[in-house]
Amino acid sequence: MGEVTVRPYRASDTSQLDALVGAHTAADPSYGPPAGQPGSDWLGSGVGACLTRFVAISDSHTVGHVAVGSVPPCPQRDLWISHLKKDVTLVEIRRGMVHPDLVGSRIGGQLTKTAVRWATERSYLPVAASVQGRTSSTAMMRRYGWEPCGVIDVDGYGPVTLWVPPTKIVDR
């Protein structure tokens, strides 16, 4: 693997993102789009509107993805706000994915840090969620100082752990 660059998503990334999702879903069928939905479309979806997306590129190949989405009124938002004890504009760092051959290479961390920087530069507070049982994402969140703040059952995913960022980000 060559140097990894994280940059904003472009429409021309669609076919490589579809291939990334296909490789990831083959390795982990528990995390992927519903049948018939293109992978790139799924990566850009979520509860709220997708505000921006980033891709990780290595040797001209897309090897990772993360999106930032708005958080509309919903049970997840209520839990995040209750835990944070402040009413702020939240954005969710979501649909993080790294090629299965590169899990553990810190690409997910690079993508997450880029998404967090994008959010905080706009005075948003980033939060995240991970499907329970996804040990690589849980390990990454803990490694970067994120704290679990609750578990909620989400249709189609089952139990999902909600995460808040480290205090240094919350108290900005």
Cα separation, 87 vs 70, in Å, equals 14
pLDDT of residue 122: 97
pLDDT of residue 155: 79
Q: Which two tokens stand for residue 55?
A: 């891709």
pLDDT of residue 117: 96
pTM: 0.92
Contacts for 165 with CB less than 8 Å, ≥ 6 apart: 116, 125, 126, 127, 128, 145, 146
Work out the pLDDT band at 150, boundaries 50, 70, 90: very high
Contacts for 48 with CB less than 8 Å, ≥ 6 apart: 69, 70, 71, 72, 92
Q: Which two tokens stand for residue 60?
A: 């001209």
Domains located in the chain, CATH noted = 4-170 (3.40.630.30)
Using DSSP's 3-state secondary structure scheme, residue 129 falls into strand
User: Considering the chain, what is the average pLDDT of its residues?
Assistant: 92
- What is the amino acid identity at position 100? P
Residue owning tokens 């579809």: 18
Q: Is the dihedral of CA 27, 29, 31, 37 positive or negative?
A: positive
Q: What is the pLDDT of residues 50-98, one digit of tens each?
A: 999 999 999 999 999 999 999 999 999 999 999 999 889 999 999 999 9
Work out the pLDDT band at 102, boundaries 50, 70, 90: very high
Q: What angle do CA 74, 46, 137 make, to 5 degrees?
A: 100
Nearest to 102 by CA among 62, 67, 135, 146: 62
pLDDT of residue 52: 97
Residue 1 has pLDDT above 80, yes or no: no
